[in-house]
Amino acid sequence: MLINRRNFTKIIGISAAGAMVPKIAFGKSVPAYLKNGSRPKMKLTFKPYPLQMQHTFTVAEYSRNSTPDILTQIEYDGVVGYGEASMPPYLGESIQTATKFLSQVNLEQFSDPFLTDDILTYIDSIAVGNPAAKASVDIALHDLQGKLVNEPLYRLWGLNPEKTPDTDFTIGIDKPDVVRAKTEEALKMKQHLKILKVKLGRGNDQEMIDTVRSVTDLPLYVDVNQGWKDRNKALDMIYWLKEKGVLLVEQPMPKNQLDDMAWLTEYSPLPTMADEAFQRLPDIVDKIHGAYSGINIKLMKSTGLWEAKKMITVARALKMKVMIGCMTETSCGVSAVAQLAPLVDYADLDGNLLIKNDPFTGMKIVNGKVTLTNLPGIGIKKV
């Protein structure tokens, strides 16, 4: 039987969803609502929480000192799950759009917080777009589920927390003296980082790499943020980067140049990872497969963990590499996506290290490695 792309995606999605149903093993106590048969209602609340950057953050297309963010909570039977929506400029969301979307959410119609597919299908149906706002509900729901059964989310999914990759730390585009100072600062961090990620794409790429290399010989990832327009020059640059100890290239060309990207990936000596080029699950088959070596999954693009885990299943079926990443986020969003770390090849989970006002603690970087907590849900605590 021949399966077209859309049917393939649907089949894989259904399979992945079935694989994600947790075997609920209650911790020290059974929730009251299961003892007496009553079913409380879920209640969603949210508030703006702008994130303040440690340093001005510059990529190929823009610079910023802060990121709009909304923190969400879902309360059920006295238990609270936390989520967040981080909204960098290129996603097109804002405090205003997220507030409008979240104001339409009515979770009180659901009396069982473990009906994940029903709940998140409803969330997705409220309005098109709004991936970060939708992710904030998804994250809070998964955090709530883990807390209700007193188990970390990775354990409910049957994942081994020892199988997480090392993560990187991002060095933004800047003048050589600033880049040198940021690199030296990164090397002194208590996390003992083993990989750095260097932003490129503003015409000073070789200067950026040479400046970092004047400080350290650590392995590097590079993220071009769609900054290269000519595929031949891009290929020449990738060969040069490989000689400089770079391991992968993220989003080298504009997302609409798929033919050029397919050519570049075919001849590139390094893996090419899609970021801005895709958002939702169908994009992997419809756009990304054949044009990139792999995907960088971010919850604020994918609408949350429920779809992100399906993305991993599809990518693996297509023999693609998988990275998990983040925006500028608190430890809430970063710890949520870190629950998927045992399933992936690469991690780019430094978003919480780039801000000054993190209201949570959660996932840690220990000797450069993504290290999950044993706290229930997504593994965070309020500061």
Region 293-300: mean pLDDT is 98
Is 70 exceeded by the pLDDT of residue 149? yes
Q: Give, for 259, the enclosing helix (H) or strand (E).
A: helix 258-267
Is 70 exceeded by the pLDDT of residue 255? yes
Residue for token pair 């209640």: 43
Amino acid at site 260 = D
pLDDT confidence of residue 62: 59
Amino acid at site 58 = T
Mean pLDDT of the chain: 91
Provide the Cα torsion 106, 111, 113, 115; round to 10°: -90
Q: Which of 212, 198, 146 is nearest to 168 (CA)?
A: 198
Region 98-107: mean pLDDT is 98
Residue for token pair 């999605």: 13
Residue for token pair 């919480």: 352
Is 90 exceeded by the pLDDT of residue 102? yes
Is 90 exceeded by the pLDDT of residue 78? yes
Is-contact 84 72, C-beta < 8 A? yes
Is 60 exceeded by the pLDDT of residue 134? yes
Query: DSSP letters of 321-336?
Result: EEEEE--S--HHHHHH
Q: Measured between alpha carbons, how far is 308 from 296 in angstroms, rounded to an integer?
A: 10
Is 90 exceeded by the pLDDT of residue 26? no
User: Under CATH, what is the fold of the domain 5-155?
Assistant: Enolase-like; domain 1 (3.30.390)
Q: Measured between alpha carbons, how far is 314 from 47 in angstroms, rounded to an integer?
A: 34
pLDDT confidence of residue 54: 85
Is 50 exceeded by the pLDDT of residue 6? no
Q: Measured between alpha carbons, how far is 358 from 354 in angstroms, rounded to an integer?
A: 9
SS3 146: helix
pLDDT confidence of residue 372: 98
Q: How confident is the model at residue 37 (pLDDT cuts 50, 70, 90)?
A: low
Q: Measured between alpha carbons, how far is 172 from 268 in angstroms, rounded to an integer?
A: 24
Q: Measured between alpha carbons, how far is 323 from 349 in angstroms, rounded to an integer?
A: 10
Across the chain, the runs of DSSP E, i.e. the strands, are: 43-48, 51-58, 63-67, 69-76, 79-86, 168-171, 195-199, 220-223, 246-250, 272-274, 294-297, 321-325, 346-348, 360-361, 364-366, 369-371, 381-382
pLDDT confidence of residue 132: 98
Is 60 exceeded by the pLDDT of residue 117? yes
Could you tell me which residues are beta bridge partners of residue 322? Answer: 295
Is 60 exceeded by the pLDDT of residue 29? no
Q: What are the structure tokens assigned to 129, written together?
A: 């777009």
Strands 220-223, 195-199: pairing kind: parallel
17 exposed, middle or buried (CB, 10 Å; 0-12, 13-18, 19+)? Answer: middle
Q: Measured between alpha carbons, how far is 172 from 327 in angstroms, rounded to an integer?
A: 13
Region 229-254: mean pLDDT is 98
Bigger pLDDT: 135 or 29? Answer: 135
Q: How confident is the model at residue 236 (pLDDT cuts 50, 70, 90)?
A: very high
pLDDT confidence of residue 35: 60
SS3 359: coil
SS3 4: coil
Is 80 exceeded by the pLDDT of residue 180? yes
Q: Where are the domains of the chain?
A: 5-155, 160-382
Q: Measured between alpha carbons, how far is 35 from 188 in angstroms, rounded to an integer?
A: 52
Is 60 exceeded by the pLDDT of residue 176? yes
Is-contact 329 84, C-beta < 8 A? yes
Amino acid at site 246 = V
Angle at alpha carbon of residue 341, lines to 336 and 345, rounded to 5°? 145
Q: Measured between alpha carbons, how far is 237 from 91 in angstroms, rounded to an integer?
A: 28
Region 18-45: mean pLDDT is 62
Angle at alpha carbon of residue 220, lines to 215 and 222, rounded to 5°? 115
pLDDT confidence of residue 36: 58
pLDDT confidence of residue 375: 98
Q: Which of 14-23, 39-48, 234-243, 351-360 has the lowest mean pLDDT?
A: 14-23
Structure confidence by residue, pLDDT tens digits, 261-273: 999 999 999 999 9
pLDDT confidence of residue 66: 86
pLDDT confidence of residue 201: 96
How much is the pTM?
A: 0.89
Q: Measured between alpha carbons, how far is 367 from 359 in angstroms, rounded to an integer?
A: 23
Q: Measured between alpha carbons, how far is 305 from 20 in angstroms, rounded to an integer?
A: 11
pLDDT confidence of residue 90: 75
As a whole number of Å, the end-to-end CA separation of the chain is 55
Q: Which of 16-30, 54-68, 353-367 has the lowest mean pLDDT?
A: 16-30
Q: Which of 2, 22, 302 is nearest to 149 (CA)?
A: 22
User: Under CATH, what is the fold of the domain 160-382?
Assistant: TIM Barrel (3.20.20)
Q: pLDDT exceeding 70 applies to what percent of the chain?
A: 88
